[in-house]
Every structure is written in structure tokens, then in C-alpha cells.
Amino acid sequence: MIEQITKLTEEYHIWVGENTTLREIANCVEITTPFLDRHNDMMQIFATVSGNEIILSDDGYTIEDLEFCGVNVNTSSRRRFIEQNLNGFGVKRKGNDLVARATAEDFALSMHNLLQAMIAIDDLYYLATPSKVSRFDADLVTWLNDAGIRFDAKKFKGRTGYNVDYKYVIPPSDKMPERMLLAIDNPDRSAVEQVAFRWLDIRDERPSDARLYPILNDAQHGSVLNEMDAFRNLEIKPVLWTSRHEVLPELAA
């Protein structure tokens, strides 16, 4: 039996290697692993060589994602939770970055420990109560859930270098491309400008057929015709909350 399991273990090691990709960006190497986070996204580590030392980092993703999803990581109990878990894996926190330092001899172990630390810290999402979202966001979530539409929060890096967060991303299907929704409780000019900037920042980084659907709360506000026209001029598809049923087939497909 041990020979059989040994062979299968070796095949697993080969699979991990074949499904780990490297990409050189700026002054570091992006390592994309086959291991998944709670969003079912492949976990990534960034490696930088400094003399005889290799610095490994998650580029702040783990903690920033928790904060984006409503988890306050700066309470005393959660800071203690983070510190205890990081210490257990020999990983340090530098700002929002989780960092491990390695040499050529212990690189594999350090990378493995950093991945485990990222997974452990990510568990704060399940241990903490998310902060209160706006009522309009809550209404949108309820409507999506009632319609059986699957969505997830995603973080995209824009041309500016900043991360752009979207709470409601519907993955592509064989019928529809990637779709992103935004709940706009107060659809005024300022909101249009903010949404437009965020979208244009990531537009070239997303699939060419990706779509953005700002959901405008016209139930609590007057005419939003100017805002609707402004979005359409940017090839963004605005949706009135009172007419949301009209796009349900596109979102559910």
C-alpha cells in the first residue's frame, strides 16, 4: 500500500508544480498557486530578491480583502489573533502585507508557511461579524439571493496601480460575460464620476465583453435621467431599481 500512496503523493507534487505559474512584474515575481481562497481565486505570492534573501509577500491582499468585506482587523482581539497565527508560521505583518523572509535553502518551507498564514488570517472572515452595510446594499443582496444569482466580492488592480473593489461580481457563463454590479443609493453627479473613474481604471484589464451595471436607487430620489445618460455615454449599463426586473434575465443567465 505504501508504494501506491507514495506514487500518488509524487503525482500530487507534480500537479502542484504544473499548476503553479510565474510572471515577472516590475521588480518582483508573481507566483500564482493552485490553492484557492474563500472566493475560489488562486492564491498569489510575490517574491523579491534582495542579496542572498528572498522576500515573500501577499502584497496586502489578505488583510485588505477582509477590510473590504467588512471585517475590522484592528480590534485588540483580532490583532492578537493575527499576531498569534503569524508567529506560528514565522510570518511578519508589515502594514497590511504578510511577509516571510527566505533563503534558497528554505524557500519552499517559507512559501508554504506564508500560504498557511494567509489561509489562517482569512478565517477572520468567518469569526468576525461584518460591519453594517447600507440598507440599499442589503436590498440588492436580498434581491440577488431571492433570484438565485450567485455573486462574489472581487478586487481588481487598475491602471493607476490601486486596487478597485466590487462587492457584486457575477462570473461569466456560456451565455453571458462577466458582470459587475454597484449599488448607488444617491445617484448624483459625484457618484457617476466616482463609478466612471473606477470602471475606466480597470476596463482594459477585464475581458473585452465584461459589463458594469450600476443599480440606481430611484425609489428614494427624483429623476436620474442625466445620470443614466452619463453612464450610457461611457458604455455602462445603468439600471433603475424600480425596473430591475428588466435585467434579471441577463444577470441570471
- Kindly report, residue by residue over 94-119, the tens digit of the pLDDT: 999 999 999 989 999 999 999 989 99
| Separation between Cα atoms, residue 127 and residue 107, nearest integer Å | 31
Buried b (16+ CB within 10 A) or exposed e, 210-248: bbbbbbbbbeeeeebeebbebbeeeebebbbbeebeebe
Query: Residue ranges of the alpha helices (H) in the chain?
Result: 2-18, 61-68, 76-89, 107-122, 124-127, 135-146, 189-202, 225-233, 248-252
Axis crossing angle, helix 76-89 with helix 107-122, rounded to the nearest 10: 160
220 pLDDT band, cuts 50/70/90, is: low
pLDDT of residue 186: 82
CA distances to 42, 66, 70 from 126, rounded to whole Å, are: 19, 10, 11
| Separation between Cα atoms, residue 210 and residue 80, nearest integer Å | 41
pLDDT (average), residues 141-157 = 87
pLDDT of residue 131: 45
Position with higher pLDDT, 242 vs 219: 242
| Separation between Cα atoms, residue 43 and residue 6, nearest integer Å | 26
pTM: 0.54
Q: What is the pLDDT of residues 32-62, one digit of tens each?
A: 998 888 887 889 999 999 889 999 999 999 9
| Separation between Cα atoms, residue 82 and residue 232, nearest integer Å | 44
Position with higher pLDDT, 143 vs 137: 143
132 pLDDT band, cuts 50/70/90, is: very low
Q: What is the pLDDT of residues 175-212, one digit of tens each?
A: 999 999 998 888 888 788 888 888 888 888 889 899 99
Residue 223, SS3 per DSSP: coil
8 pLDDT band, cuts 50/70/90, is: confident
Q: What is the pLDDT of residues 225-234, one digit of tens each?
A: 788 888 888 8
What single letter denotes the amino acid at residue 22? L
- Virtual CA dihedral for 49, 51, 52, 57, nearest 10 degrees? -30
